Amino acid sequence: MVRRIIGIVGTVLLTLALLGPGVSEGAAKYTILLSMKGPGSGNPFWAAVERGARDTATALGVNLVVLAPPAETDVQAQIGQIEDQIAKRVSAIVVAPTDVSALNTTFDKARAQKIPVLFVDTDGTWRYKLTFIGTDNRAGGVLGGKFLCGAFKGKGDVAIITGVMTTQSIRSRVEGARAAMKSCGLRVVAELPANSDRALGQQVMEDILTSKPTVKGIFAANDLMALGAAEAVTSRGRTGKVLIVGFDAIPEAAQAILSGTMAASVAQSPYNMGKFGVQNALKALTKKSVAKRIDTGTVLVTKKNAAQYAK
């Protein structure tokens, strides 16, 4: 308990130090909106983004509103939520957009009210964004694709399970994985969408196993789809014969890697997305400089290091 308290105090002091002198003074007058493209309940990734934002808002004494549409495909719900907060004169918006360009008119309304907009996780096309905070998703996709290249020595058939392809982060992951696998000689024989949904991931994997029985490797653009795919592979008795690589390294995926039902996943730093989002929103509100691009990094998770992600 003492160690945890010391750790929390250390985090608070480090956050304040990074923000610079005077940034937290009067922070309570600001309200920051964190608009995620998916709810934290049921998705450990968004839960971690939210936790990072809430911890940092508490440390800095700033008010935080957290909202998300019921599904990552519900663009109109996110637009409605953000525009409602603009009408309430929120101080800054930290957003993971459900679509790279569909919210631009909404962001124009924020700009008209002098409300800074910062993107996290998924970059967008809006020209006036303050910064993008998140993963180099294409590099992460390459990392996952290269793992399968190494596992199969550049020979054999593989498939890709995509998410919502209007989402830039998903597109970038798929592009990176596809490029890496093709460049080493693997044949991408199927590329099917499962909309970031576990049950649909299982169904799509069943279809792939039936229509493309030679497939021996899968890159899934997020872990929920990868876990669904693993269930399909297990039900066919092909665990270990079809290697599944996911993206996000959520705890259940890390546990699946340890048990052997998944081979690997690409870890992001969702906590830091929420943390840096709130930090830099407050920087902007207090006239501090903000970098145009803040990379939160990726790590390949295999059996060697999965235990630290399984908690």
Residue 6 in this model has a pLDDT that exceeds 60:
no
Cβ distance 193 to 204 under 8 Å? Answer: yes
Per-residue pLDDT tens for 39-48?
877 788 899 9
**36-40, 248-252, 276-280, 306-310: the lowest-pLDDT one:** 36-40
* Mean of all residue pLDDT scores within the chain: 92
CATH class of 2-135+269-296: alpha beta
Same fold, 2-135+269-296 and 137-267: yes
- Quick one: what percent of the chain has pLDDT higher than 90? 84
Q: Minimal CA–CA distance to 276: which of 254, 255, 297?
A: 297
Q: CA 203, 48, 147, 163: dihedral to nearest 10 degrees?
A: 40
Confidence of residue 2 (pLDDT cuts 50, 70, 90): very low
CATH class of 137-267: alpha beta
DSSP element (H, E) containing 160: strand 157-162
Residue 43: predicted pLDDT: 85
Per-residue pLDDT tens for 156-202?
999 999 998 888 889 999 999 999 999 999 999 999 999 999 999 99
Cα separations (Å) of 237 from 30, 45, 208, 209, 218? 55, 29, 15, 11, 16
Indicate the residue type of 54. Answer: R
- Helices 44-60 and 270-285 pack at an angle, to 10 degrees, of 40
Strands 117-120 and 132-134: parallel
Domain spans of the chain? 2-135+269-296, 137-267
DSSP per position, 226-242? HHHHHHHHHHTT-BTTB
- Helices 223-235 and 251-259 pack at an angle, to 10 degrees, of 30
Cα separations (Å) of 274 from 173, 201, 207, 268? 20, 27, 36, 12
* CA dist., res. 232 & res. 151, Å (int): 21
Q: Minimal CA–CA distance to 96: which of 201, 170, 15?
A: 170
Residue 307 in this model has a pLDDT that exceeds 80:
yes
Per-residue pLDDT tens for 117-162?
999 999 999 999 999 999 999 999 999 999 999 999 999 999 999 9
Per-residue pLDDT tens for 256-293?
999 999 999 999 999 999 999 999 999 999 999 999 99
197 phi and psi angles, rounded to 5 deg = -115, 135
Residue 60 in this model has a pLDDT that exceeds 50:
yes
Global pTM? Answer: 0.73
Confidence of residue 15 (pLDDT cuts 50, 70, 90): low
